Amino acid sequence: MDYTLKEIMVLCAARKIKNHDIVFCGTGISMLAAVAAKHIYAPDCVIFFETGAIDSKLEKLPLAVSDSRVMYGAQAFCSLVDSFSFMQNKKTGANIVGIIGAAQIDPFGNLNSTMIGEYGDIKARFPGSGGACDVASFVNTNIIFMKLEKRKFVHTLPYITSPGWLAGENSREKQGLNPQGPCAVITDMGIMGFESRTKKMFLQEFYPGIDPETIKEHISFDIDISKARQTIIPKDEELKILREKTDPEKLILN
């Protein structure tokens, strides 16, 4: 069965979710990945929105984390403070998988979703952290979604909104953050991981039909592509559930 790059991205993220995970997701494609995981791989995982909806029924896909569709049939509601406290709390935080996006990323997985320029002379403005920096600070498993573009994969960020592995090695732990930095960057061409010691980004998987050299050309910094292998092709069954059950209205997959 044919598939789009959006579809393989969603499935790659969904495959990383285990049955007893608590999946924190934002809007758009990250929410779709969480819902797909629940529909396909991890029926007992709990989908959890920063707005405070826990284990939402999600009969219809929400268009924002505050959408009333996250409220219907949930297991419990909590406040914003409670919601992020579940992540900061080491017991619950250990089981939380965060899925976040950003405007820019650097070789250590640090993210910019705030701005280009400086306060007083801002060249481009993005929405801001929202809960992304909180997730990136707290949870044990953090998955990043990014479109692969040279202006997005940059050597140095003008503004670090969400911590990745900071300056690499053990710099993250030294700052007092949860020692676990991001585990994967899922793009529209392939998936990056982080070297276990240096914490530098490397190419882990390329999607079928994508040349790793092409991926290299879409990144402003030097990246090791020598360890990359091809991503497992989406199964028909996966695609079928994704299309028919997860986003039948094609709100995000369109």
Residues assigned a catalytic role: 50
Cβ contact 23:17 at 8 Å: yes
User: Closest approach of Cβ 236 to another protein, in Å?
Assistant: 25
User: Closest approach of Cβ 208 to another protein, in Å?
Assistant: 29
Looking at 20-28, 143-151, 192-200, 230-238, which segment touches another protein (CB under 8 A)?
20-28
Q: Does 29 bind another protein (CB under 8 A)?
A: no
**Considering only residues 41-100, where is the footprint of another protein by CB under 8 A?**
46, 50-55, 57, 59-60, 62-77, 79-81, 84-93, 95
- In a 3-state reduction of DSSP, which class is residue 31? helix
Q: Does 138 bind another protein (CB under 8 A)?
A: yes
Q: Does 239 bind another protein (CB under 8 A)?
A: no
Looking at 117-125, 191-199, 202-210, 220-228, which segment touches another protein (CB under 8 A)?
117-125
Partners of 206 in the β-ladder: 190, 230
Cα–Cα dist 119/129, whole Å: 16
Looking at 121-129, 142-150, 199-207, 237-245, which segment touches another protein (CB under 8 A)?
121-129
Q: Does 248 bind another protein (CB under 8 A)?
A: no
For another protein, which residue of 2, 43, 119, 196 counts as binding (CB under 8 A)? 119
Cα–Cα dist 169/181, whole Å: 11
How many of the other CB atoms lie within 10 Å of CB of 215? 22
Q: Does 242 bind another protein (CB under 8 A)?
A: no
Site string for another protein, 171-210 (x = CB under 8 A): xx-xxxx---------------------------------
For another protein, which residue of 18, 27, 216, 220 counts as binding (CB under 8 A)? 27
Record the tokens describing residue 163, joined without a space. 């911590």
Question: Closer to another protein at the Cβ: 127 or 208?
Answer: 127
User: Closest approach of Cβ 158 to another protein, in Å?
Assistant: 9
User: Closest approach of Cβ 222 to another protein, in Å?
Assistant: 23
- In a 3-state reduction of DSSP, which class is residue 28? coil
Cβ contact 72:57 at 8 Å: yes
Q: What is the DSSP-derived secondary structure letter of residue 102?
A: -
Partners of 98 in the β-ladder: 24, 142
Count of residues that interact with another protein, criterion CB under 8 A: 81
Cα–Cα dist 18/38, whole Å: 9
Burial-class residue 27 by CB neighbours within 10 Å (0-12, 13-18, 19+). Answer: middle
Partners of 143 in the β-ladder: 99, 184
